[in-house]
Chains A and B, each alone.
Chain A
C-alpha cells in the first residue's frame, strides 16, 4: 500500500472520506512541504480537511480566519500595549528609564502571538489553516506569500523569528475574488467537489454509524437530488449530516413515512426564504420518492 492511500485511510478512520484527487494533493503537499490550496463551493468540507488532518497527524490545528481588512496585527503579532504602558510607568516609579526599559517592554513577555507567528513557533509541526483567503485583501495575500515561502517573520524590535518547525499549510477559497497567479503557483492545488453518491453514503456511515441503511440511502439520494434544483444556497455535506441527525433524532425510519416531519426537517437543508418557497412540500415529496 502506498503512502497516499494510507493517508486516505487515516482520514477515513477519523470520519473524513477524501476523494483520490484530494488525498493525493494532500500527500504531495505534506511530502514537498508546500501549502495546499483547496477551492470549491461552500459546504463541501474544505475546512474539515484541515481539522481531520490535524487529528490524523496528532498535532495542533491553528486557524486563521480571513476577512476583509485583515492586517498583519491580527494575523501575525501585536504588542500588548496596555501592559507595556503599565510596565513603563512601573519602571519610571522605580527610577529606571532608557535602554533597559525599552529592551524589557519589547521582549517576548509583551508579545501577543497571532495565528501565523504561533504556527511557526510550535515544537511539533502544526496544521495551519488559512480559511477563506479570498476574503482577505490583495496586500495581505502578497504578504502571506512571503511568510509561506520562507516561514520566517521579522519583528522589527526582536529581529527575525525563524520557524522551529514548518507548519503544514492549508488554504481554502470560495472564489469570492480571483486569487493571484503568484499565490496559486506556490501551492499544490485541489478542487473539492460535492461528493458523489457512494462517497456521501460513506461519509454518512462514518459520521452516523447507527443509521439504518435504507434511510441513509434515502437521505443521500434526497440531498443529491436537491442539489440539482435551482437554489440560492445549495446544501453541503454538513447540512446533509444535520438533516440525518434531525431525522434520526425524531425516530424516522422512512423519508416518505411522515410528510409533516419531512417538511419540518427541511429547515436543516434550505437556508433562505426563497429556497423554501422554491421547494414546496410537493416537490420535496417527489424528490424523496425518487430517492427511495
Chain B
C-alpha cells in the first residue's frame, strides 16, 4: 500500500503540508525549528516536487540531522505522506486493566522473582541455578533483576548538589597539560609575536617588552562507568549522585551504567531538571541491582562507545567492587582494549576502604595490571579526598 496520502479539500496547500510534516517530525524527536520548515519548502523548489522519491530524498537531507534521524526518516515519511501510517488503530479498553495499577513496572509478575529471593547473593556456579552456601559473603551473581528500581528513592537533589561539587573538584584536579593551542600569559614558553610586533611599533621596531604565551590548562574528558549490580546496591546512592553531579558540571563528561547490560546515561543525566533526569534514568536502568557481567560490558564498551568517545585525553573511571560472573580473562582483555585508546583508567572500589581488604576477587586481581590508579571510594568524602591524588593522572 504505497498510495500517497489524500489530504482533505480544506487543506490550505503545499507549504501547510510541509509545515505539518515538520511538526510531525518534531513530535518524534527531531530538533527542527521554523527555519528548517522554510529550508524544506525552498528545497522543494529545486526538485521535481511531484516525484515522491525526490521529495523523500530532499526532505531527508534537510530534516535529518544525525545518523539516528536518517535511519528513522523513511518510517516517519511513510507515516505522513503515504497512506499506511495514517490509519489510527482504535483503542479498545482491556477488560482486566486493574492489574498492576500501582507498580511502575510493565513486567508481569509471574511469581518467579520472589521464589528466587535469598539466593541472589550466592555464588553463581555457572550451571544456571544459584545455590546458597550460607557463608554470607559478597559475591557476584548472574541473575538478571527484572524489577525496575525508582532512582528517585535512592538519590535526592541535595546529594546531587554535594556530588557536583566533588565532581567539579575532581575534574579540576585532572588537567591535561598537553595542547597545541597557546594563550596569553605572563610567563610562558613561547613569545606572542602578534603582540611583540604591535608593541614594538611605538619603539621603532625595537621589541622591548616580550609578551608570552603558554599552553592552556585543559580539563581531561571523564568517562565514568558505574556498576549497579546487586552487590553494589548499597553504594549506588553515592555513585549515582556522583555521576549526576559529574555530568552536570562537566559538559564533556560521559556516563554509563552496567549490570548485566550496559546503558549510556549521559543524555538522561543532562536533563535540566535533576528529578526528571533520575526519572529517565529509571527507565534506562532496567535490571538495576541484578547480576554483574563486568567483563562482557567493558568489552562491549571498548568495542562501541569507547571508539567514539575515549581518546588520549580521557580518564575512564570505573566504579565497581570487581565481583564479576564473567571469566577474569574477559575483564583483563576488555581493559587492555580500552587502554589501547591511550586513556588512563581509574578503578574506584568501595570495598578497598575496608580494613584488611585485598583484591582477591579474581576479576579485580586480573584488572590490576591495567589500572593507573586503584583507590577506595564508598562515600562522597572519600571521593573528595581523591582530589589530591588525581593531580598526576
Contact = CB atoms under 8 A, between A and B. Distances in A.
B205 A28 contact: no
A2 B70 contact: no
Given A21-B60, A88-B201, A27 B180 contact: no
B205 A92 contact: yes
A189 interface: yes
A32 B47 contact: no
A39 B67 contact: yes
Contacts of A27: 46-47
A24 B58 contact: yes
A89 B43 CA distance: 56
Contacts of B58: 24, 28
B64 A189 contact: yes
Contacts of A4: 47, 54, 57
Contacts of A25: 57, 60-61
B201 A102 contact: yes
Contacts of A20: 53, 57
Interface residues of B, number: 46
A21 B61 contact: yes
B379 to A, nearest CB: 32
A165 interface: no
A185 B36 contact: yes
A93 to B, nearest CB: 9
Interface stretch (A9-17, A78-86, A217-225): A78-86
A233 to B, nearest CB: 10
Contacts of B303: 230
Interface centre among A34, A102, A138, A191 (most CB of B within 10 A): A191
A101 interface: yes
Given A32-B43, A185-B65, A189-B61, A67 B180 contact: yes
Contacts of B206: 92
Contacts of B251: 138
B4 interface: no
Given A2-B48, A21-B57, A69-B179, A189 B201 contact: no
A29 interface: yes
Contact of A89 (B66, B179, B205): B205
Interface stretch (B107-115, B153-161, B191-199, B234-242): B191-199
Nearest to A186: B35
Interface residues of A, number: 44
A190 interface: yes
Interface in B21-54: 31-33, 35-36, 39, 42-43, 46-48, 51, 53-54
A71 B182 CA distance: 9
Majority DSSP secondary structure for residues of A touching B: helix
Interface string A10-48: 000000000011001101110110100101000000000
A85 B191 CA distance: 14
A3 B204 CA distance: 60
B18 to A, nearest CB: 14
Interface in A96-113: 97, 101-102, 105
Nearest to B61: A25
Contacts of B204: 88, 92, 97
A105 B43 contact: no
Contact of A81 (B64, B196, B201, B205): B196
A76 to B, nearest CB: 13
Contacts of A290: none
A21 B46 CA distance: 15
B128 to A, nearest CB: 27
B88 interface: no
Contacts of B57: 4, 20-21, 24-25
A85 B207 CA distance: 9
B90 interface: no
A150 interface: no
B200 interface: yes
A189 B67 CA distance: 9
A227 interface: no
Contacts of A97: 204
A184 interface: yes
A191 B64 contact: yes
B308 interface: yes
A84 B197 contact: yes
Contacts of B51: 2
Given A2-B54, A68-B180, A88-B205, A191 B67 contact: yes
Contacts of B66: 39, 184, 189, 191
A31 B46 contact: yes
A108 to B, nearest CB: 16
Contacts of B313: 68
Contacts of A176: 308-309, 311
B62 interface: yes
Interface of A: 2-4, 20-21, 24-25, 27-29, 31-32, 34, 37, 39, 67-69, 71, 79, 81, 84-85, 88-89, 91-92, 97, 101-102, 105, 138, 175-177, 181, 184-185, 187-191, 230
Given A21-B57, A189-B66, 10 more contacts: A24-B54, A25-B60, A32-B46, A39-B67, A85-B197, A101-B201, A177-B309, A189-B64, A189-B69, A190-B61
The 8 A-B residue pairs with the shortest CB-CB distance in the complex, in nearest-first order: A88-B205, A25-B61, A24-B57, A69-B180, A81-B193, A184-B65, A31-B46, A191-B70
14 contacts: A3-B47, A4-B47, A28-B43, A39-B67, A68-B179, A68-B313, A69-B181, A71-B181, A81-B197, A102-B201, A185-B31, A185-B32, A185-B35, A191-B67
